[in-house]
Amino acid sequence: MIGRLQCVVLDCPDVLGLARFYRALLGGVVNRPDPRWAVDDDFSTLHTGSGRVLAFQRVEDHRPPRWPDSAHPQQFHLDIDVPDLDQAQNEVLSLGATLLHTDPRGWRIFADPAGHPFCLLRG
């Protein structure tokens, strides 16, 4: 092993808004004091209950990915296990997500408010 994953950083136009979106989806604490990062108007963090950290970095000319358009590739995506797909879908839509695709094999693909794709899977 060469190293450990410290966090996953997502580019976006509104760092605090996207941190709050993922807090509502995954739980955790937005901008918890942590000596590894300085949070400000251009950088926000989410420390999840599982110990994983997501970070959000402001990009002025943010161009969101367009799933499944390879001219605007998704760059990354998160798979999130949920106990009830229908309930989880209603909740993420109310938070500002957009449904992109319902796969007949049992998962649903959404875009977060900044356009990053993520999947909800029955966990």
Q: Identify the bridge partners of residue 86 per DSSP, sorted by sequence position.
A: none
What pLDDT is recorded for position 76? 74
Burial zone of 36 (CB within 10 Å; 0-12 exposed, 13-18 middle, 19+ buried): exposed
Whole-Å CA distances, 41 to 44, 45, 46, 56, 57: 8, 11, 14, 10, 9
Give pLDDT tens digits for 56-78: 999 888 888 888 888 877 777 78
Domains and CATH numbers, the chain: 8-58 (3.30.720), 78-122 (3.10.180.10)
Q: What is the pTM of this model?
A: 0.82
- Average pLDDT along the chain: 90
pLDDT band of 5, cuts 50, 70, 90: confident
Spatial separation of the C-alpha atoms in residues 40 and 72, rounded to whole Å? 28
